[in-house]
Amino acid sequence: MCHQSECGCEQHPGHRVGPVPHHRGGCCCGSAQGPRRFISRDEMVKQLDEYLGQLRAETRGVEERIAELRKEG
């Protein structure tokens, strides 16, 4: 199988695998249209919500570490 899970193509002669990713402009053996350039508003909202959740988790981690350091000091 291809090393890019979303590709779904099979490795075959000429399928470029190695230091130069073959998915730069879309899969070498998939559709000629290549990857989508734009995402919908709903997709953008979903991505931003996920990113916000990651930032909040990171903030909690920093706050916990600061609290630990204050207890030690």
- In angstroms, how far is the first alpha carbon of the chain from the final one? 54
For the chain, which residues make up each domain, given as ranges? 1-31, 38-73
The Cα-based distances of 12 to 15, 17, 25, 36 in angstroms read 5, 10, 18, 25
CA distance 67 to 57: 15
Mean pLDDT, range 52-72, rounded to an integer: 97
CA distance 29 to 36: 16
Beta partners for residue 32, in sequence order: none
The pTM is what? 0.49
CA distance 50 to 20: 30
pLDDT tens for residues 19-42? 544 445 555 555 566 787 899 999
